[in-house]
């Protein structure tokens, strides 16, 4: 059976670029993905504008496969900040980052680390709800 829109005899995307679908699972959890770490609205906004995102294609992942909030998040371990695009130098030493939908308007960034979330600079617009 063929998927709609695929030409007869054409290889599937998976067979043509198998590594585009593979990732290395660094963590697995039954929690919902939004419990990956602390929320940080400053990192969310930077991610939505491409100013704090994982390099592409990144294949390090945390899998959240509980009853609710199932997702595969991009993961940047605390010792691999070289895998971040971070021109604003928002990454902090000792933090691990989890990205839901990076570089899109609904991007969310969660982090594990001892420090509180970043403060928005004065004059920065509030995110829409």
Is 100 a domain residue?
yes
The helix (H) or strand (E) run that includes residue 71 is: strand 71-76
Q: For the chain, report the end-to-end CA distance as a whole number of angstroms.
A: 42
Is 85 a domain residue?
yes
The pLDDT-based confidence of 103 (bands split at 50, 70, 90) is confident
Structural domains in the chain (count): 1
For residue 102, what are the β-bridge partners?
A: none
The pLDDT-based confidence of 59 (bands split at 50, 70, 90) is confident
pLDDT at residue 57 is higher than 50: yes
Is 11 a domain residue?
no
Is 121 a domain residue?
no
Please give the Cα distance from 59 to 24 (Å, whole number): 6
How confident is the model over 18-39, as pLDDT tens digits?
A: 555 678 889 999 999 999 999 9
């Amino acid at each position: 059976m063929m998927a709609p829109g695929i030409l007869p005899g054409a290889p599937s995307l998976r067979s043509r670029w198998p590594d585009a679908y593979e990732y290395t699972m660094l963590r697995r959890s039954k929690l919902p993905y939004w419990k990956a770490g602390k929320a940080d609205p400053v990192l969310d906004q930077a991610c939505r504008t491409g100013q704090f995102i994982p390099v592409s294609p990144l294949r390090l992942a945390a899998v959240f496969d509980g009853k609710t909030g199932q997702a595969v998040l991009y993961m940047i371990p605390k010792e691999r900040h070289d895998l971040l695009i971070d021109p604003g130098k928002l990454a902090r030493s000792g933090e691990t980052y989890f990205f839901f939908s990076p570089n899109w308007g609904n991007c969310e960034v969660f982090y594990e680390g001892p420090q509180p979330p970043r403060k928005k600079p004065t004059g920065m617009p509030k995110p829409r709800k």
